[in-house]
Amino acid sequence: MVTELIGRIERYLDVAPRARADAEAVGPFTLFRSRMAHPFFARPSAGWAPGYATAADVGAVCERQRELGLPENVEWIKEVAPELGTACKDAGLRVSEHPLLVHHDALAVPVPDGIRIRRIDDPDDPVLPAAQTVARLAYASAGTAVHDIGRNERNAATEQRAPDASDDLRQLIRDGHSVVVVAEDEHGVLCSGGHNPVGDVTEIVGVGTLPSARQRGLGAAVTDTLVADAIRRGIEVIFLSADTDDVARVYERVGFRRVGTACVASAV
Ligand SMILES: CC(C)(COP(=O)(O)OP(=O)(O)OC[C@H]1O[C@@H](n2cnc3c(N)ncnc32)[C@H](O)[C@@H]1OP(=O)(O)O)[C@@H](O)C(=O)NCCC(=O)NCCS
């Protein structure tokens, strides 16, 4: 069912990518063509009605993505377009489902000893490349388990980044489209994450902890600081999609509740 809350998230998801991408209508979909290094996806256009898309519609948007050299990728909220999973599978895509959560309760979240949590206010802050490296290394080790990838790998990978590799994010921070929070010890960044405010709704994105620093409360503390920042801005709906139920539990511990299902379809 499309509740008022899901409707607000759905409207946000139609608007927010436009700060980073150009929107192109392809049948019943909006294809977001990224102006940044990171590619986007297609999603149902505003005004989606049940039963709207066929496998042929999905095939057409994938063909356009291939033509543009983009990955074939469709994202949607299951409650908004419950039939789209079948259309995507019939078009030959692989579909995955992820918990969609909204912040509901303010809980006391401790900051681990020896850790400083801070929002990056200066877009030219020299720590930004390390923050992005931490997120990349975190996502390369999906799930919540501790691994031995740590400080040395972070430092080596940060040094290898192109000098302009943080320019897109610096501009988004400058323009107020992105807020970034980091958790650091005396040797550097261990966890980072962000939120992307649009009006009174925001999405928490890219929370990642260096694999060797997991299960110490850093992910929870960074998420809680992002939530506090959003609330200070007067934002009413703070949502995110978690990769798995295990990851969702980390967010539930800081006051998020599951409200729906986010779907992703991509080429097999
Ligand atoms: C998801 C992720 C960000 C969590 O980061 P984290 O810093 O390990 O998060 P936390 O330490 O706050 O919580 C993780 C677990 O450690 C536990 N924990 C926290 N402090 C602890 C402590 N001092 N001692 C023991 N366990 C502790 C938490 O209770 C939680 O347990 P649970 O998995 O049973 O719920 C991290 O695993 C990651 O980067 N994963 C890959 C990227 C990803 O999926 N990101 C999220 C996208 S939505």
Give the pLDDT of the chain (268 residues) as one tens digit per residue: 679 999 999 999 999 999 999 999 999 999 999 999 889 999 999 988 877 889 999 999 999 999 999 999 999 999 999 999 999 999 999 999 999 999 999 899 999 999 999 999 999 999 999 999 999 999 999 999 999 999 999 999 999 999 999 999 999 999 999 999 999 999 999 999 999 999 999 999 999 999 999 999 999 999 999 999 999 999 999 999 999 999 999 999 999 999 999 999 999 8
Residue 17 CA to ligand 1 center (angstroms) comes to 28
Question: What residue segments make up the domains of the chain, in order of their start?
Answer: 4-99, 116-252
Rounded (10°) CA dihedral 258, 230, 9, 197:
-140
**Ligand 1 pocket residue status of 98, Cβ below 6 Å:** no
CA atoms within 13 A on the CB side of 84: 31
Q: Which CATH architecture has domain 116-252?
A: 3-Layer(aba) Sandwich (3.40)
Domain 116-252 in the same topology as domain 4-99: yes
- Select from 189, 212, 214, 223 the residue to mutate for testing ligand 1; criterion: most ligand atoms less than 8 Å from CB: 214
| Ligand 1 contacts CB of residue 209 (under 6 A) | yes
44 lines ligand 1 (CB under 6 A): no
Name the CATH topology of 4-99.
Answer: Aminopeptidase (3.40.630)
Using the mean position of ligand 1's atoms as its centre, give its distance from the Cα of residue 242 in Å. 12
Q: How far is the CA of 133 from the centre of ligand 1 (A)?
A: 18
